[in-house]
Structure 1
Amino acid sequence: MLYRRLGSSGLKLSALSFGAWVTFGEQIARDQARNLVAAAWDNGINFFDNAEAYANGRAEQVMGDVIADLRLPRDGFCVSSKVFFGSAADPGPTQRGLSRKHVTDACHAALKRLRVDYLDLYYCHRPDPDTPIGETVRAMDTLVRQGKVLYWGTSEWSALQVQEAVDFAQHHNLHGPTMEQPQYNLLHRDRVEREYAALYADPGLGITTFSPLASGLLTGKYNDGFPAGSRLGRDGMEWLQDLVLGADGPARMTQLRRYARLAADLGQSPATLAIAWCLRNPNVSSVILGASRVEQLLQNLQALELLTAMDDDVWAQVEAVFAD
């Protein structure tokens, strides 16, 4: 396993990490979750990502139970949670958002579900237009000073919003955001590569990216449509199709079919190739993987080998597929 610093902090995360989005608490049974976490740990993964909203809190409960069952040493792994959407099926006004109350209540609830005394990473899952950024920064700073959170950050915030939080924290001598968790893959590059560019050196923002396979689009399994039962084919997931495909779906599908052919010509799995491409960005601290089967996870971990095995000409061919 390769380990990278979380931005300018001293924390070292596995370059490939494992997340519970969609799968834990909903799609897979507890024994499958246990096997996945065990396989991740055995292969050097030390960062396990979660959120209050995943399966309305059940994902964190399953992950906490599994980690405790495996008796992983607390000083050897990092676990995260995210706050904004709430964990209730129909959250009330104080059960969601980034107010001091919900940020605090959600942290305490996540600690119980994950069965830990502190969160290594705690993210503001989305910006909250109804709460001043300064109030959220102060709430996070309090949790850090209390020892309940070690590092806090944002997820899918604009660069301007992140900078506002950084500036407020610096001006008031508070703990500011250390990391951001954006979507990053061959289909979605602009935010990580362009919008956040000024944030990497100063204030030293770390990036833990999600959806390296664009919710499965870059695996090739959707090249002929969205089968029922698959992530993008499930009822209620139409919003995710729109999110990962964008406004011009047919053009994207043409690119994806071309990419699958290129991966086949190179003798590589399109999924492994796509994950390795994400790792090539030196500003990425960790790429969060999602898997429902151990075999799938182990295949994705092979991206570490491709990172050094492929030369610049190959990566140029990969990027050329999505150049337009």
Structure 2
Amino acid sequence: MEERHLGRSGLTVSRLGLGTMTWGQDTDPDEAAAQLRAFVDAGGTLVDTADVYADGRSERILGHLLHEVADRDGLVIATKAAIRSNGRYDASRRHLLAALDGSLERLGLEYVDLWQLHAYDPSTPLEETLSALDEAVASGRTRYVGVSNYAGWQIAKAGAWQRAWPGREPIISAQMEYSLLSRDVEREAAPAAQDAGIGLLASSPLGRGVLTGKYRSGIPAGSRAAAPHFADFVQPYLDEECARIVESVVTAAEGLGVTPLSVALAWVRDRPGVTAPIVGARTAAQLGQALLSEDLTLPQEIRAALDDVSDMTSGSA
């Protein structure tokens, strides 16, 4: 699998990342092991988790597999903090550093490669939040730092603050939702990240699963939209406007002899500023389909057509 530099840094990661949000909830340890094996065998290196995924079970499963299935030194392990289990944002220095210690304990690691602020906390001074990133690197608990779900002005402010004085740790990544069904990041967040030399990690690159085409005829049993804990997550992308985009993706896939999933992933993977989409699969079979996108580069005319049809819903420039 091709690797890319993450932002303006020396860290390289595979241009497809493995997301683990379902691990410990919809994906059991055996399926997680099969996913990690398939990902590593395909040359993947970037594995992304968070302290709140399945109340910490995702990190525990990943930590076990790093000792049983994969070579930890060959992987780039990323996790996040700043959201409490009750959903409240907390990016105080106290909470963040304690959360990082908890993540390391669950992962069974002395350090992670990338530690990300999971959300912006307006109740904590930004300089306090960012000082926790500096401390995490200085103490050896992480090698690099990033942000997630930050607005454009928040990315610009945090990026500028960290580069304004020697000794502060530069932010190298910004993880945000980005797909043919969600292009709002192109308004401000993506340009801000690019200007600051921050690499984009695209979460939900398959439009929360809708871009696979599985919902064209309804909601199949066993899908995320059929699960009580994920139904509200998927529902916003089941309207008529999104359906038109899905049909365009399906048409492109049929013309190229590939799956809609591969088309959707290849589109976001090669957008300006994107380092890697983060794919979260429920099963190893689903992940295997995503890995096939590595061999696909969209022809310019198909890319332009998808750009046009997806602009109809987002209004992106």
**TM-score normalised over the length of structure 2:** 0.92
| Alignment map for 1:207-222 (pairs within 5 Å) | 207-222=200-215
Q: Deviations over 1:141-198 (max 9, x none)?
A: 0111111011111111011111221232234431132110011111112314653214
Alignment correspondent of 2:78 = 80
Q: Retained in 2: the 8 A contact 1:18–1:48?
A: yes
| Alignment map for 1:77-226 (pairs within 5 Å) | 77-86=75-84, 88=85, 90=86, 97-173=90-166, 174-192=168-186, 194-201=188-195, 203-226=196-219
SS at match of 2:102: helix
Q: 1:260 to 1:111 in 2, by over 3 A?
A: same
Instruction: For residue 244 of structure 1, report the CA deviation from its aligned partner.
Output: 4.2
SS at match of 1:26: coil
Q: Deviations over 1:272-321 (max 9, x none)?
A: 111011121241111111222222222211212112xx421122233333
Q: Deviations over 1:249-281 (max 9, x none)?
A: 222223323432342233220001110111212
Paired residue type of 1:316 = A
Q: Retained in 1: the 8 A contact 2:20–2:58?
A: yes
1:16 aligns with 2:9: no
Q: Deviations over 1:59-102 (max 9, x none)?
A: 11001111111251x3311111111222x4x47x8xx5100011
Alignment correspondent of 2:267 = 277
Q: Retained in 1: the 8 A contact 2:249–2:264?
A: no
SS at match of 2:8: coil
Aligned residues: 311
1:319 aligns with 2:307: yes
Alignment correspondent of 2:226 = 233
Instruction: State the alpha-carbon separation in 2 of the partners of residues 14 and 180 from structure 1.
Output: 16
For structure 2, the residue ranges without an aligned partner over 5 or more in a row are: 313-317
Q: Retained in 1: the 8 A contact 2:174–2:198?
A: yes
Instruction: State the alpha-carbon separation in 2 of the partners of residues 266 and 257 from structure 1.
Output: 14
Alignment correspondent of 2:60 = 61
Q: 1:69 to 1:193 in 2, by over 3 A?
A: farther
Q: Retained in 2: the 8 A contact 1:182–1:192?
A: no
**TM-score normalised over the length of structure 1:** 0.90
Alignment correspondent of 2:277 = 287
Q: Retained in 1: the 8 A contact 2:248–2:306?
A: no
Q: Retained in 1: the 8 A contact 2:153–2:192?
A: no
Instruction: State the alpha-carbon separation in 2 of the partners of residues 194 and 105 from structure 1.
Output: 32
SS at match of 2:200: strand
Paired residue type of 2:54 = A
SS at match of 1:131: coil
Alignment correspondent of 2:50 = 51
Paired residue type of 2:96 = V
Instruction: State the alpha-carbon separation in 2 of the partners of residues 195 and 34 from structure 1.
Output: 34
1:296 aligns with 2:257: no
Instruction: For residue 128 of structure 1, report the CA deviation from its aligned partner.
Output: 0.5
Q: Retained in 2: the 8 A contact 1:182–1:209?
A: yes
Instruction: State the alpha-carbon separation in 2 of the partners of residues 322 and 200 from structure 1.
Output: 22
Q: Retained in 1: the 8 A contact 2:252–2:302?
A: no
For structure 1, the residue ranges without an aligned partner over 5 or more in a row are: none
